[in-house]
Each structure stands twice: as structure tokens, then as C-alpha cells.
Amino acid sequence: MKSLFGFQDTLEVVTNGVVALPANANAEARNNHRNLKKKDCKAMYAIQAALDSANFDKISHAETSKEAWDILVKYYDGGEK
């Protein structure tokens, strides 16, 4: 999956998340935030498309790709079982 995120230029969004846009943001900041949100949606789609129904249920409540990815990492990389 990390290879796919790298190819789609979404790895940074999955690992760092998308920071909330400040209320007084200028046009450039709004544009950057919009692009990051698009990348987040793209990564979330890739995660959802790769999962079977049992694993999809684990992340179905996640709002962002980072949140979904963190759930999967915790479950499969030594989180409390």
C-alpha cells in the first residue's frame, strides 16, 4: 500500500494527515488545503478498495485516510489484540 500511496503522491497525507485550515487563510493556503483534501480522498479510496468486508468494517467510521491507516497499522502491527 505504501508503494501505491507513493505512486499517487498521497503518502504524506496518509502519514501526516491534513491540518485544519485557519479561518484567516489566504487564497494560496485555501488552494493548498483543497489539494491536500483531494489527496486524502484519493488515498481513502485506495485503502477502501483494497480491503475485504471484514477489514472494511474496522475502518468504516474513519473520516480521513490517516485515521483509517492508523487503525489498520495498530491492528496488524502489534497493537493490543
Q: Tens-of-pLDDT digits for all 81 residues of the chain?
A: 889 999 999 999 999 999 999 999 999 999 999 999 999 999 999 999 999 998 999 999 999 999 999 999 998 886 555
Alpha-carbon distance of 32 to 21, in angstroms, equals: 10
Alpha-carbon distance of 5 to 1, in angstroms, equals: 6
The pLDDT, as a whole number, for residue 77 is 81
pTM: 0.85
Cell of 40: 486524502
The pLDDT, as a whole number, for residue 70 is 95
The pLDDT, as a whole number, for residue 78 is 62
